[in-house]
Amino acid sequence: MKKIIAFAGTNSKTSINKQLAIYASSLVEDVAVDVLDLNDFELPIYGIDLENEKGIPDNAKTFLEHIKSSDGIILSLAEHNGAYATVFKNIFDWMSRIDGKLWSEKPMLLMATSPGGRGGATVLEVAKGRFPFMGGNIVADFSFPSFFDNFSEGKITNEDLDKQLKEKVETFKVAL
């Protein structure tokens, strides 16, 4: 059976992006889903001096192994000031020091959501512009707006948005 990982680019314990990533992963039939949480991969803030003195921390290596041993990735990015949340940028930077092509060409469903109407569209564009240079194989992307108006009890409540996501998930499934 194929295995996918699902995670959010945030360390919020009540993350809306994690909720969206879990919902999207529940729509992928006949795969094993490993839901990861960046809180379980705590890392010091990346710095070249720290790397030179102490090397690359195990949590960065372990997370990269999760990526490499998966058949696909569902990632939903939190948007902080139009960019990646710090915790995501940090693990991304650490992993890039091990392997510049860290996403390893694994099929990726890339998403973002926020409480606002733009649904994290800015960070989604940032990632879409960068990931392909780093082994990223984004087969579908989805910006989910106004999270609290459109999501409840683990599911998308807006029919049109739900249909859109299901189409993206289908594309992702076919690429696995």
Site residues (vs ligand FMN, CB under 6 A): 8, 10, 12, 15-17, 78-82, 114-116, 118, 120
CB 110 within 8 A of CB 131: yes
CB of 76 to ligand FMN, least distance (A): 7
Question: With respect to ligand FMN, which residue has the nearer C-beta, 114 or 173?
Answer: 114
Q: What CA–CA distance (Å, rounded) separates 167 from 133?
A: 26
Separation in Å, CA 102 to CA 16, 85, 116: 25, 18, 30
What letter would DSSP give residue 98?
H
How many Cβ atoms sit within 10 Å of the Cβ of residue 153? Answer: 6
Cβ distance to ligand FMN smaller for residue 147 or 173: 147
Nearest-approach distance from CB 42 to ligand FMN, in angstroms? 16
Taking the complex as a whole, the smallest distance from the CB of residue 2 to ligand FMN amounts, in Å, to 26
Closest CB to ligand FMN among residues 120, 136:
120
